[in-house]
Chains A and B, each alone.
Chain A
């Protein structure tokens, strides 16, 4: 069965510091991978996605993520965090070739940014 693990429930970083949010997935083949961000009281916004090709993908707001097949990981990174990045981040996996197109989400990582 597909699953997504985000091992860090809560992370605090200082503004200007680098950030890495971890995501590990379980899936039998190469999955579709997504990172979404949810600001308080808002819906989810797509940051970036991986379907195929270059394993380093660039997203909005200066985020990037790297797909590592050998580690079943899709970690999200940002070189310099801004206060406005404080939000909850969700990693998700989508199945290929199935009858459904649902996404399986991790439990999220809540990011706090210290001034």
Chain B
């Protein structure tokens, strides 16, 4: 079946512009995650959705970053007033139904990422 898809695959923008990154999770997966992969930094967690709600936004680096998820499916990560330090690969992942706090965790399936370059 289809995996996690992300668009665009590459985005070049000018400092100060807003950008929107899109993630289409695997059909039926209720959990969705955004991560950022910066050079030499590994992968940093940004935000976690369970359905349409986001119980964990602790990784968003500033209030310029926001994300939403509608219909329990597609998610959009928005970065306002982009800065050069926002340049990174933004990865989306999804996983099947899970009950937070129940001591369970599922494998996360990752998309190919969006490479963002801020000039």
Contacts and interface: CB of A to CB of B under 8 A. Distances in A.
Interface in A73-111: 90, 92, 94-108
B105 interface: yes
Contacts, number: 69
B92 to A, nearest CB: 9
Nearest to A34: B107
B106 interface: yes
What is the size category of the interface that chain A forms with chain B?
A: 20 to 34
B40 interface: yes
Contacts of B112: 41-43
A101 B107 contact: no
Nearest to A95: B105
A97 B102 contact: yes
Interface residues of B, number: 32
Interface stretch (B13-21, B60-68, B70-78, B93-101): B93-101
Residue among A32, A46, A102, A105 with max Cβ neighbours from chain B (10 Å): A102
B84 interface: no
B119 interface: no
A64 B109 CA distance: 20
Nearest to B56: A100
A107 B55 CA distance: 25
Interface in B76-119: 91, 93, 95, 98, 100-103, 105-113
Interface of B: 4, 31, 33, 35, 40-45, 48, 55-56, 58-59, 91, 93, 95, 98, 100-103, 105-113
Given A100-B55, A100-B100, 12 more contacts: A36-B110, A43-B113, A44-B110, A96-B105, A97-B103, A99-B100, A100-B58, A101-B105, A102-B45, A102-B48, A103-B45, A107-B40
